[in-house]
Copies of this chain bind each other. A is one copy, B any other.
Amino acid sequence: MIESDIFKALADPTRYVIFEKLAAGRMNASALRDGMAISQPAMSQHLAVLRNAGLVREERQGRFVNYEVDPKGLALIARWLTKYRAYWPSRVDALKTLLKDMDQ
């Protein structure tokens, strides 16, 4: 699981939307399909990519599989960002927040 795999997972607009939906709350694969013009296999494949990137994790529940955001992937991106701290604009609040959480 390398950084560029995470970026690759989020590079596809469809997967990006799937991830955003999951960020709103855990959901099974069928619920994720609601309102998305996407076939069942396509959804399954996208979820596999997100899972392999460490962005999402699954939990089987009977014949349903619930998916949810996996902090692992997010943490990896956060750490990646800190490598380029020298280039951050000092006034951006988002960066301050991030820094505070990453540091002591």
Contacts and interface: CB of A to CB of B under 8 A. Distances in A.
Interface string A13-29: 10010000001000000
Tell me if A's interface is mostly helix, strand, loop or mixed. helix
A78 to B, nearest CB: 5
A98 interface: yes
Interface string A50-93: 00001000000000000001011011111101111111110010
Interface of A: 1, 3-4, 7-8, 10-13, 16, 23, 54, 69, 71-72, 74-79, 81-89, 92, 94-95, 97-99, 101-104
Shortest beta-carbon contacts, A-B, top 8? A8-B11, A7-B10, A11-B11, A79-B94, A7-B11, A78-B94, A4-B16, A69-B87
